[in-house]
Chain A
Amino acid sequence: MTDVGESTGTRLATGMRALNLLRRELPDAVLATDEVLGEVTIRVGRDRLVEVARLLRDHEEARYDLPLYVTAVDWPDREPDAPRFDVVYQLRSMRHNDVIRLVVQVPEDDPRVPTLEGVFAGMDWHEREAYDLIGIQFEGHHDLRRILLPDDWEGHPLRKDYVSFGEPIAFTHNLEWALPAQERPPEMPGSSR
């Protein structure tokens, strides 16, 4: 039985440790950083992701060796040129008691990121989940299949344009949306009758 560490009050993991290390070792891999409520988010390019993850896992100052998850956030209403998906990775360093969030932005027409399952075995299932629910393609993954939904499911439910609830109900203000043209009353615009 071991008593670990000492009580230090409410302690937040900041990710500053990772940021300092990356700025020193791979300065050109860091595209942008953001700090909200004491949590650092580091944006990296997808071509440097594997390199960054390996450095964060193996470097003595970092040791972010516990893969927490990977997921993606869909931002369809960003300004036109901005990539639609934020692929979010979170890693924990137990040695230094810290958490870091990495973000890779990918566009809608090319949602690919390299797989990290070679770096963290635990990323395997999380990548399959992100593929299943949001449709991110993890290049080099050995078995990129749906994991939660049935194999023949269509679409990726956690995308914002995937409407998972409600049936279209015809009101006068939305008949064009709710009914196919041949079912609309003849007096309505767009009716084929």
Chain B
Amino acid sequence: MSVLPPLGPPGRDAASEQHDHGRELLAVAPELDAIDLVQLDDQTMELNMGPQHPSTHGVLRLVLNLDGEVVRGCRPDIGFLHTGFEKDFERHSYQQCIPYTDRMDYLSPLSNNLGFSLAAERLLGVEVPPRGQYLRVIMCELARIASHLIWYGTTALDLGATTPFVYAWREREKILDINELVSGVRMHTSFIRVGGLMADVPAEFYGMVEEVVKTFPHHIDEYETLITGNPIFRERTQGLGVLSAEDAINYGVTGPTLRGSGVPYDLRKAQPYSSYDHFDFDVPIGQRGDIYDRYLVRMREMRESLRIIDQAMAGLPEGPVNSTDRKVALPPRNEINTSMESLIRHFKLVTEGFRVPTGTVYQAIESPRGELGFLLVSDGSNRPYRCKVRAPSFSNLSALPHMAQGELLSDLVALIGSIDIVLGDVDR
């Protein structure tokens, strides 16, 4: 908190002259002019927002420099959730790293599983069969919808709309039920693994996914009825928190936040992985780069995800879901009972894991938040020598001070919601 400026004779600028003029009109004696109000407007205040604040979506602390209600400066303080996953990777075998990836971006764990698995598979030279690739796509797109639903509910809640939150949670349950069906776990599924999947999907899976594909367009219509045309919501989001395409790129912003600024870059299209090039879908982009555009992009992305799931379900191939490379994949259960080699192989893979050839790869995927990349360095052992996670939320959040400049404190809440950060992803 800065101190009041020293009292002194009023300056000779235009404002002061007007001041003098006013004083003459009212015949106020000069000595009664205790504080020159004109000098007060460079007073700013430091305000801590978070780490315990509902709209920071986790443990994010913002040190704000406020001029009245206007944000003049914003310094994010992160690291409250730092767990050192990258160090943990270095002492675990590759398959043991998968549960760690779940816990980074905990709102779409399957995307993280996929990124790590693809990186390791490229080093290993292992190809996942088509059915495995399609199921990965279906599960990742379901995770994207679930993640966007949380964003939709919490962002609306931050802006004072409580109903959308309840709606979004109701529908997200359907997707978590599918997670539970296929993996036994609702959130940290570890379903996608190096070399394929945890297991093939049970028979009930098809009906449940079809139910989602059939009912969700109607639900998204409901969400849009609640929020998209809502004058209060538009008033609080349109034209605010604008991020130009150039600035977005310069800050390394990716994902829906970048596409909201009008840059049509989506890794699923640009550098397809896991059979994404088999599916027909559009990449929605915004025009003005404001909070409202980011909202529209994510709403439309949910519909595009449904299109992808629909096509993947229709074209889901038969066959195995896991690689048949016995250096990586566990032998089938029935073989373990009869074949000594399979038994030994199973034992070795579970206790020691597989060895990965020496090399370095960077594998990026389009997570719900943007470009999620894994730099994986192998020294030929059964553990990653170094694994750097390029977390989309980290780069996206680094652009927040730039976006917050000159906005109102109350709009900052909408702004944080619109870049859709997950602090587990930021801090790792």
Residues of A at under 8 Å CB distance from B?
1-5, 7-13, 36-37, 39, 41, 65-69, 71, 73-74, 88, 90, 92, 94, 97, 99, 101, 120-126, 129, 133, 146-150, 157-158, 164-165
Contacts and interface: CB of A to CB of B under 8 A. Distances in A.
Contacts of A1: 282-285, 300
Interface residues of B, number: 53
A94 B249 contact: yes
A122 B398 CA distance: 7
**Dominant secondary structure of chain B at its interface with chain A:** mixed
A7 B277 contact: yes
Given A101-B362, A125-B395, A2 B264 contact: yes
Contacts of B264: 2, 4
Tell which of B122, B362, B402 has the most Cβ of chain A within 10 Å.
B362
B174 interface: no
Tell which of B122, B247, B278, B388 has the most Cβ of chain A within 10 Å.
B388
Given A1-B282, A66-B254, A125-B394, A71 B388 contact: yes
Contact of A148 (B79, B386, B390): B79
Given A94-B265, A120-B250, A88 B388 contact: yes
A125 B398 contact: yes
Nearest to B373: A68
A4 to B, nearest CB: 4
A99 B84 contact: no
A65 B273 contact: no
Nearest to A132: B79
Given A36-B361, A94-B265, A157 B84 contact: yes
Contact of A5 (B253, B270, B284): B270
Nearest to A130: B388
B360 interface: yes
Given A2-B284, A71-B375, A125-B395, 16 more contacts: A9-B272, A37-B361, A39-B362, A67-B252, A69-B388, A73-B386, A74-B386, A90-B373, A97-B270, A97-B271, A101-B360, A122-B398, A146-B79, A148-B79, A148-B427, A149-B82
B303 to A, nearest CB: 10
Contacts of A88: 375, 388
B87 interface: yes
B123 interface: yes
Contacts of B252: 66-69, 120, 122-123, 126
A147 B78 CA distance: 7
Tell which of A92, A97, A120 has the most Cβ of chain B within 10 Å.
A92
Interface string B16-54: 000000000000000000000000000000000000000
**Dominant secondary structure of chain A at its interface with chain B:** loop
A165 B388 contact: no
B360 A36 contact: yes
B371 interface: yes
B250 A36 contact: no
A41 B250 contact: no
B361 A39 contact: yes
Contacts of B68: none
B250 A121 contact: yes
A150 B252 CA distance: 25
B91 interface: yes
Contacts of B395: 67-69, 122, 125-126
Contacts of A147: 78-79
B399 interface: yes
Nearest to A123: B252
B147 to A, nearest CB: 21
B117 to A, nearest CB: 15
Nearest to A74: B386
A97 B270 CA distance: 7
A2 B283 contact: yes
B269 interface: yes
B205 interface: no
Nearest to B386: A73
B259 to A, nearest CB: 9
16 contacts: A2-B282, A2-B283, A7-B277, A8-B272, A37-B122, A39-B361, A65-B250, A68-B364, A68-B395, A73-B386, A90-B362, A120-B252, A122-B250, A123-B252, A148-B78, A165-B91
Contacts of A7: 269, 272, 277-278
A148 B249 CA distance: 23
Contacts of B330: none
A133 B387 CA distance: 13
A73 B251 CA distance: 23
A107 B360 CA distance: 21
Contacts of A73: 377, 385-386
B249 A65 contact: yes
A20 to B, nearest CB: 20
B266 interface: yes
A11 B86 contact: no
B79 A10 contact: no
B187 interface: no
Contacts of A126: 252, 394-395
Contacts of B265: 4, 94
A2 B362 CA distance: 28
Tell which of B250, B252, B359 has the most Cβ of chain A within 10 Å.
B252
A34 B330 CA distance: 33
A71 B89 CA distance: 16
Nearest to B284: A1
B263 interface: yes
A164 B84 CA distance: 9
A9 B86 CA distance: 31
Contacts of B361: 36-37, 39
